[in-house]
């Protein structure tokens, strides 16, 4: 079974459209961009299109790295802006934490600030995708490959809160295939194309590909395409699995932000 994120996202998109139509003012999302990478541009187009389709306002601010924090600070103070995201990866990746933590927590709809008022978009998307296809996580053995602060770390916390038995692996894990074969659910979020190969998951498992990395001039997922041929698995396509649901989760946070009372002093 394919865990089709596009199909599920379509249903939620209809709900978002109805919600926005009933709001007195359009939700306003600011996207701060500091990279001219083609993949970055593609991600921004998808978000801009989704916002347009549901009736939200999406504006992209293209700035250099030396101005990115001041741009975010201006948007923090703009009462017309409900949500802010910094499009990642940045050209200077070492500054990722510094920049994302400049976003005001009440506008951080990507959920990346340590004190963000929102659930991180990609982990939320993964849980929604599993729930949408009737995959229960309570009591299940989940092997999460990757412990990054954008996906792995917050997702492991959410999974444990949902009652899953979570094993987290990274590049230092001695026997990754053994860890993934022992799992009922495997989630990979490393950005290493083709990392999860046939033979690394047991028959009947659920496999969620939450990674994306460049290989051969194109963006590919963590899961080897050969795994898609295993008809015993419940597996996400990539693209078309977690990605569309991440956009949906981002706009779910934006709609919540737009309906909250103004922060004190703003």
Alpha carbon distances (Å) from 168 to 41, 186, 189? 31, 10, 11
The catalytic position among 33, 71, 87, 140 is: 87
| 222 is annotated as an active-site residue | no
CA 38 to chain centre: 19
Distant-in-sequence, close-in-space partners of 225: CB < 8 Å, separation ≥ 6? none
Catalytic member of 47, 82, 140, 222: 47
Decide: helix, strand or coil at residue 9.
helix
19 is catalytic: no
DSSP state of 202: -
DSSP β-ladder status, 57-62 and 83-86: unpaired
Active site residue 110: yes
* Cα distance between residue 266 and residue 49, in whole Å: 29
Largest CA distance in the chain: 57
User: DSSP characters for 163-193?
Assistant: T-EEEEE-TT-S-HHHHHHT-SEEEE-S--T
CA dihedral 257, 17, 221, 231 (to 10 degrees): 130
What percentage of the chain's residues is helix, strand, coil (to nearest 5)? 40, 15, 40
**Which listed residue (82, 110, 184, 224) is catalytic?**
110
Which positions are annotated as active-site residues? 47, 87, 110
């Amino acid at each position: 079974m394919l865990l089709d994120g596009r199909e599920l996202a379509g249903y939620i998109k209809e709900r978002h459209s109805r919600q926005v139509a009933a709001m007195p003012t359009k939700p306003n999302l600011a996207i701060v961009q500091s990279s001219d990478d083609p993949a970055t541009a593609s991600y921004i187009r998808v978000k801009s299109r989704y916002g347009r389709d549901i009736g939200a306002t999406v504006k992209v601010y293209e700035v250099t790295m030396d101005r990115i924090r001041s741009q975010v600070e201006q948007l923090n103070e703009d009462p017309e802006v409900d949500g802010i995201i910094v499009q990642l990866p940045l050209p200077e990746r070492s500054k990722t934490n510094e920049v994302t933590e400049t976003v005001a927590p009440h506008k951080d709809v990507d959920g990346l600030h340590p004190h963000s008022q929102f659930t991180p978009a990609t982990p939320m998307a993964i849980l929604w995708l599993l729930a949408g296809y009737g995959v229960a996580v309570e009591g299940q053995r989940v092997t999460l490959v990757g412990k990054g602060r954008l996906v792995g770390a917050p997702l492991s916390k959410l999974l444990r809160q949902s009652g899953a038995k979570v094993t987290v692996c990274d590049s230092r894990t001695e026997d990754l295939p053994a860890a993934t074969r022992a799992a009922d659910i495997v989630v990979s979020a490393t950005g290493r194309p083709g990392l999860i190969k046939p033979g690394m998951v047991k028959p009947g498992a659920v496999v969620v590909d939450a990674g994306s990395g460049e290989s051969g001039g194109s963006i590919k997922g963590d899961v080897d395409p050969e795994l898609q041929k295993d008809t015993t698995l419940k597996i996400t396509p990539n693209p078309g699995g977690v990605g569309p649901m991440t956009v949906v989760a981002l706009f779910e946070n934006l709609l919540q932000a737009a309906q909250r009372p103004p922060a004190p002093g703003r």
